[in-house]
């Protein structure tokens, strides 16, 4: 494992749950989120994809706290929410999973 991935894992582990005004709920950070950044369908993501997603960790908290819009999606019994925040030159999109009565960070990406 590279130093970059190791450092980003440490950053992720230091994230504290935070309130999302768009959801009206607290978002928690579990190992599910980190696993989703590194793996897709239980297979490792490509090296480039891992670096891309892990490099966005620094935007997670600000996006959750500042996002105004929210979209809900129900698929195969799972409820997910996507929130977005527009930085100056790009938009960050975060996926949040509703698991029982908790909201869990699942993924982050730059919006196309």
- Give per-residue pLDDT as tens, 19-75: 999 999 999 999 999 999 999 998 999 999 999 999 999 999 999 999 988 999 999
The full DSSP string for 36-64 is: HHHEETTEEPPHHHHHHHHTTGGGHHHHH
Q: Is 111 exposed, middle or buried (0-12, 13-18, 19+ CB in 10 A)?
A: exposed
Please count the structural domains in the chain: 1
Domain containing 57 equals 3-110
Q: Is the pLDDT of residue 1 over 70?
A: no
Both structure tokens of 80: 């997910």
Q: What average pLDDT score do residues 2-21 get?
A: 96
């Amino acid at each position: 494992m590279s130093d970059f991935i190791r450092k980003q894992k440490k950053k992720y582990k230091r994230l504290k749950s935070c309130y999302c005004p768009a959801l009206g709920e607290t978002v928690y950070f579990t190992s599910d989120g980190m696993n989703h950044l590194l793996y897709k369908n239980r297979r490792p993501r490509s090296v480039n994809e891992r670096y891309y997603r892990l490099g966005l960790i620094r935007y997670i908290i600000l996006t959750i706290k500042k996002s105004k819009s929210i979209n809900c999606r129900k698929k195969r019994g799972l409820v997910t929410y996507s929130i977005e925040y527009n930085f100056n030159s790009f938009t960050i999109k975060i996926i949040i999973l509703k698991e029982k009565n908790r909201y869990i960070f699942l993924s982050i990406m730059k919006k196309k």
